[in-house]
Chains A and B, each alone.
Chain A
Amino acid sequence: MRSNLKSMRAMILKEFRELRRDHRTMGMLIGMPVLLLVVFGYAANFTVDNVPTATVGPQAEQVAQQVEVIAQAPFDVVEVDPGGNAATAEDLLQRDSVDVAIDTGQQPPVAYIDGSSLFTAQTSIAAFNRLGDQVTVEILFNPELKTSWVMVPAIIGLILTFIGTIITSIGMVKEKQTGTIEQLAVMPIKPSTVILGKILPYFLLATLDMVLVTVLGMVLFDVPFNGSVGVFAIGAGLFLFVVLGLGVFVSTISQNVGQAIQTAFFFLLPQILLSGFIFPLEAIPWGVRWISYFLPLTYFTMVSQGVMLRGAPLDALWFPLIMLAIMAVVIFTGAVLRFRRNLAPGDGRRSKPKVSA
């Protein structure tokens, strides 16, 4: 019995010693719960209390003043266009400039609501319903307010993040774990060729997956594809570079597959929860919301929902596209340069190789 206890004590001590040196697991044990609680405690909020609103038409100014003072109404009028009409209202929604646009040119006024912002739409409908017949409500882009319509475009991004970050980092770190990266480094292949040769298969697989998921989403859930395939492709292509870059980066800071998955998870979790497709961005307080604007999935979701549901044109999506482009250049280049260092660590400190021995 005594010796049993002693062995148990030795075992427990050994386990704690190993854990203490495993910084990533310690981070998951201590840092992650605290971070999750704080961040998501604040972020987890489905109630939108600030809906960007526009009023158009001859009575735009009066209506603007009226909607802002309606009791318990979340409307924040950011645009007043007395010269506008129903088309102007629809255009404002399509470009995501506002989530509600009230056309005062009709009797009673018509409130157009962007159905692609699910929670915002629900909050707005509830507020207008309290007004009774004073206003007609028309929901655009997702008239039945289907959750799947809003989720599928975002989940495409999530799947790409998953493949791009986790699968790529596993593929890259395996060479390191088995020591074959040294063989690659010694072979007369240019580091850029090695890196491209390793990334391209994942790029192709991720592209295939994206097409598959998009088509499946449309077939199974009747999600519309209202916009241009080209704009969607630009957004998806840029986003792929970002997530593949993240995968390569994760592999450069990991020594084995376990570490890579653990690290990729750190990048994945905030994207799932903070990119705006579960909790609406507008409902996240600024103390946490700023993180969302550093996450590539936030911008991909803007593009995919914009193109698929609202049919938003290229010039309406310039902001998320530019952000994705910047992230793609910075993250992808940085990650590839880091990976290159793994392939040629001794670079440049020796005499020029002769062509023959």
Chain B
Amino acid sequence: MSAHELTVRFGHVLALDAVSLQTPPGQITAVVGGDGAGKTTLLEALVDLVPIEAGSVDSPARSTIGFMPAGAGSWSELSVDENVAFVGGSYGLATDVLTTRADDLLTRAGLSDVRDRLAGQLSGGMRKKLGFCLAMLHEPQLLILDEPSTGLDPVSRVELWRLISEAAARGTAVVLTTTYLDEAERAGSVLVLERGRALLSGSPQDVVSSYPGVIVQTDSPTRPQFAWRHGTGYREWWPDDPPKGSTTTALTLEDVSIVASLRQEVGS
């Protein structure tokens, strides 16, 4: 699937400004950005949930897309098995195919012991994993996940990412949004959004290595507009050579996305 220069407007608010995105098969594409950057709007535009003002989406047929919204992602008053039965039935899966896939997915997701439990009574992590299983049930070619790991504890995040990576390894094109930059570093490519604009895109390595400047770790920043708290000290971005004698470290994806956003704010 590809999206070309998508523009979405809600009233006077420009939610997406000519954003493009490619999702190659077998690869995870992470859309990152702060709150209100336009991540969810981008995913919704991909699946036709918001009207597009300009640009185009070239998407596969609906029957080959799996979608997990940022919300519950499952029907809370249905049990795990009933959720599976409903979604499988909606996609027209044959009973035996559905049974095999559900057994496999729920086992890998660690949900096989709670199949009779209502979705609304699952823990946050289990609920997200159920949402993922439902989105994967019909073996989609394209998997769209809106903040799958938000609000999960570190262990649940690891488990969910294992499922996502397995899906990609089987050839599924995955596009997900996240606010965690360490997750984005594991993706095949990233798209950094800020206020509806694409700031950076490419593989995490390319994005980081092609970004200019270095990071100085310091306790007293000299360029406050390009410095931010990190641990007990500050990280400070220098586009060229930093002052002599300062401790420099390489840029990370997190640094790059913060600097890109700060630069847009400052307007440089």
Q: Which residues of A contact B (CB under 8 A)?
A: 178-180, 182-183, 185-189, 344-347, 349-351, 353-357
Contact = CB atoms under 8 A, between A and B. Distances in A.
Contacts of A180: 69, 71-75
Nearest to B3: A350
Contact of A182 (B49, B51, B141): B49
Contact of A357 (B50, B56, B142): B142
Interface residues of B, number: 37
Given A186-B67, A351-B57, A353-B62, 7 more contacts: A178-B72, A179-B72, A183-B73, A183-B134, A346-B48, A346-B52, A357-B142
B51 A349 contact: yes
B60 A354 contact: yes
Interface centre among B49, B63, B142 (most CB of A within 10 A): B49
A59 B134 CA distance: 81
Contacts of A179: 69-73
Given A351-B58, A353-B61, A357-B1, A183 B48 contact: no
Interface of B: 1, 25, 44-45, 47-52, 56-65, 67-76, 87, 90-91, 134, 141-142, 173
Given A179-B70, A180-B71, A350-B57, A186 B62 contact: yes
Contacts of B67: 182-183, 186
Given A178-B72, A189-B90, A349 B52 contact: yes
B268 to A, nearest CB: 36
Contacts, number: 89
B36 to A, nearest CB: 18
Most buried by A among B62, B68, B76: B62
Nearest to A175: B75
Given A188-B63, A357-B25, A346 B49 contact: yes
B48 A350 contact: yes
Nearest to A194: B90
A344 to B, nearest CB: 7
B108 to A, nearest CB: 21
A4 B141 CA distance: 60
A120 to B, nearest CB: 48
Contact of A345 (B25, B51, B56, B71): B51
A179 B57 CA distance: 23
